[in-house]
Amino acid sequence: MRSSTEPTRAPDGWGDALRDAGHLVAFRARTVRRRGAAAAGAGAVLLLTILSAVGPADVDADGAVGDILDTLVDALSGNVGAALAGTLVLSVVSATSSGGGRELLSRGEASIHPLGPRTEHLGALALAPLNLAWLIQVWGLLAVVALVTPAEARLGAQAVVVAWVLAATALGQVVGWAVEGVRRTPHGVLVVRVAGISLALVAGALHLTGRLRPVVEGLPTTWVAGAMQDDRWPVAALGLVALAVLAVVVGGAPAAWALGLPPREELRVQSGVHEARPLPEPRWGSGDRALLRRLDRGSVWRSVGMRRGLIVLGMGPGLVALLAGLEWGTVLLLPGLAASGAALLFGVNAWCLDGKGMVWRETLPVSARDVFDVRALVVAECMAAVSGVTVVLALLRNGLPPLGTGVAVASCWLVVVVQVLAIVMTWSIRSPFGVDLSSPRATPAPHAAMAGYAGRLSLVTTLTAMLFTALAALPWAWAPAVAALPFLAWSTRRLLRARRRWIAGDERARVVLTVAAV
């Protein structure tokens, strides 16, 4: 028996936390179902990262593609410091909106294990890159730096970028835990909302008064952007790595604080009262579908994570378009990315909205077609809403675009929404998962699958948007609308194929039993 005079080891020291996080990562890795696909996905992410880091420097394009590249470089090359700051903002928003970052084990699974807050903190850090916005931002940053940096300084500059991404991610996590801690205090939700809106208003006011740019240029990121281009890059890189390590260690404190408090917002939602409403009597369509739609919409908007995610995805890219004054050519990229982000909240495993209630839903005497159509509509609504906010905010900033650009924006928006819908409804039936989305830190699929989904959706929608950007430059305003037709036909065909699979009884039973985890 241990003597009371013997020194005791901290129950959740960094060594233990690192080991435990390693065990959890290994456990999750062992539960990956499609190892080949996971390896291919990891390889694709690595390849894209390398291509982003070295590829743009070697591009020598003419014509429309060259113009697009020139526009992108002009818009971003003088703003590397701002882009670095944007990475930090994104890390903060990502960690904050997901309640302190993603979890290696769901709350229910983790409750039986002696996992400390430092393990949770390290787990959230390890999972931060498995995020579409994070990956896009990193690829963008690497590409821009590759474009604007002379060949002899490129390696050092990219080393600084990597160090900055590590530091920004760790700093974002510190802020994420701190905000989550505040959110869990009495009136904390109100405090966080007021603070968030105030920050957005301050940024807006700075922009409108023309002081945003000087403020951004006064940030230390401007020094980092300069240092990475010359022989100061080793100092910058080492300093940033030290900052990252410091932030990782410091982040343990707010993580312990936040995780030691009750999750008030989730508890409030879980015990939320919603008075009875009369049966819907729609002007068109059946009442059955209207009631199913109401239930599905409730499942989305009564979830803390999904509600928060949809608001952030709707406002985030739109505010960037509004404040940064992005050109329409760049704005065209945003609806697809916003729609993909919305789909990643639950659409990639659309049936998980019902959780274990899926079995009960399946006993209801309603046609499988109606159930599929309503669920697809609700997924589409979410994607159209968040991407629509982005387009509307860009309209406010840029005013009405020329006819050709306007047709391209509308066509591209429609195409990417239908495209992503068809893809995610196919995935939802082909690879369903049983998950509990009660925590805002939960994801609708295992992390490896989420990373694959994020990569594929971003690739597809970005390539589509690039095509429409090129079409917008053509002299024929009808060209984007005509080009949209084959995309829409293909996606509709894919959606109908997914619907046919769902209607088949044995396929549906497989999905139902998997999602309900019975």
Partner 1 sequence: MSQTPAVVVRDLHVRFGDVEAVSGVDLVAESGRATALLGRNGAGKSTTMKVLAGVVPPTSGTVTVAGHDAATDALGVKRAVGYCPDVGGLVPRATPWEHLQLSARLRRMGDWEERGRDLLERFELGDVAHRVVGGFSHGMSRRLSVVLAALHEPAVLLLDEPFDGVDPLGVEATLEVVADARARGACVLLSTHLRDLALEACGEAVVLRGGNRVAAMQAADLTGEAYRALLD
Q: Select 36 or 505, whichever has its Cβ closest to partner 1.
A: 505
Q: Select 35 or 356, whichever has its Cβ closest to partner 1.
A: 356
Please give the DSSP secondary-structure letter assigned to residue 478.
T
Site for partner 1 (CB under 8 A): which residue of 349, 438, 458, 461? 438
Give me 359's structure tokens. 């079995």
Q: How far is the CB of 252 from partner 1 (least distance, A)?
A: 30
Residues 253-292 that bind partner 1 (CB under 8 A): 267, 269-276, 279, 287-288, 291-292
Q: Select 170 or 512, whichever has its Cβ closest to partner 1.
A: 512
Yes or no: say if 419 and 489 are a contact pair by the CB < 8 Å rule: no
Other C-beta atoms within 10 Å of 272: how many?
8
Task: Return d(Cα 83, Cα 77) in angstroms, integer.
Answer: 9
Q: Count residues contacting partner 1 (CB under 8 A)? A: 45
Yes or no: say if 412 and 336 are a contact pair by the CB < 8 Å rule: yes
Q: Select 211 or 500, whichever has its Cβ closest to partner 1.
A: 500
Q: What are phi and psi of 399, to 5 degrees?
A: 75, 180
Q: How far is the CB of 130 from partner 1 (least distance, A)?
A: 24
Q: Select 494 or 510, whichever has its Cβ closest to partner 1.
A: 510
Task: Return d(Cα 446, Cα 33) in angstroms, integer.
Answer: 10
Residues 129-188 that bind partner 1 (CB under 8 A): none
Q: How far is the CB of 57 from partner 1 (least distance, A)?
A: 49
Residues 293-332 that bind partner 1 (CB under 8 A): 295, 298-299, 302-303
Query: Coil, helix or strand for 337?
Result: helix
Q: Is 112 in the site for partner 1 (CB under 8 A)?
A: no
Instruction: Write the interaction track for partner 1 spanning residues 488-517; mark x where CB under 8 A is met and - where it is not.
Output: -----------------xx--xx-xx--xx
Compute the Cα dihedral for 379, 385, 386, 388 and give only its sign.
positive
Site for partner 1 (CB under 8 A): which residue of 155, 201, 403, 518? 518
Residues 345-404 that bind partner 1 (CB under 8 A): 353-357, 359-367
Q: Select 28 or 510, whichever has its Cβ closest to partner 1.
A: 510
Q: Which residue has the tokens 């709707």?
A: 314
Q: How far is the CB of 387 from partner 1 (least distance, A)?
A: 24
Quick one: angle between helices 368-398 and 287-301, nearest 10?
A: 60
Q: Select 236 or 292, whichever has its Cβ closest to partner 1.
A: 292
Task: Return d(Cα 74, Cα 68) in angstroms, integer.
Answer: 10
Which amino acid is located at 89 in the chain? V
Q: Select 279 or 400, whichever has its Cβ closest to partner 1.
A: 279
Which amino acid is located at 331 in the chain? V
Compute the Cα dihedral for 496, 502, 504, 510 and give only its sign.
positive
Q: Which residue has the tokens 């549906």?
A: 508
Task: Using alpha carbons, select from 166, 170, 153, 165 the residue that is nearest to residue 226.
Answer: 153
Instruction: Write the interaction track for partner 1 spanning residues 71-100; mark x where CB under 8 A is met and - where it is not.
Output: ------------------------------
Q: Select 116 or 305, whichever has its Cβ closest to partner 1.
A: 305
In three-state form (DSSP H/G/I as H, E/B as E, the rest C), the secondary structure along 162-199 is HHHHHHHHHHHHHHHHHHHHHHCCCCHHHHHHHHHHHH
Please give the DSSP secondary-structure letter assigned to residue 279.
P
Which of the stretches 71-79, 108-116, 339-347, 435-443 binds partner 1 when contact is defined by CB under 8 A? Answer: 435-443
Q: Select 398 or 514, whichever has its Cβ closest to partner 1.
A: 514
Q: Select 58 or 506, whichever has its Cβ closest to partner 1.
A: 506
Give me 203's structure tokens. 């940024």
Which of the stretches 40-48, 145-153, 434-442, 482-490 binds partner 1 when contact is defined by CB under 8 A? Answer: 434-442
Task: Using alpha carbons, select from 346, 514, 315 the residue that is nearest to residue 434.
Answer: 514
Give the E-state strand segments of 110-164 in sequence order: none
Q: How far is the CB of 310 from partner 1 (least distance, A)?
A: 14
Q: Select 219 or 269, whichever has its Cβ closest to partner 1.
A: 269
In three-state form (DSSP H/G/I as H, E/B as E, the rest C), the secondary structure along 355-407 is HHHHHHHHCCCCCHHHHHHHHHHHHHHHHHHHHHHHHHHHHHHHCCCCHHHHH
Residues 40-59 that bind partner 1 (CB under 8 A): none
Burial class (CB in 10 A: 0-12, 13-18, 19+), 427: buried
Q: How far is the CB of 497 from partner 1 (least distance, A)?
A: 20
Q: How far is the CB of 298 from partner 1 (least distance, A)?
A: 6
Q: How far is the CB of 358 from partner 1 (least distance, A)?
A: 8
Q: How far is the CB of 511 from partner 1 (least distance, A)?
A: 11
Instruction: Write the interaction track for partner 1 spanning residues 444-483; mark x where CB under 8 A is met and - where it is not.
Output: ----------------------------------------
Query: Which residues of this protein are in contact with partner 1, per CB under 8 A?
Result: 267, 269-276, 279, 287-288, 291-292, 295, 298-299, 302-303, 353-357, 359-367, 436-438, 505-506, 509-510, 512-513, 516-518
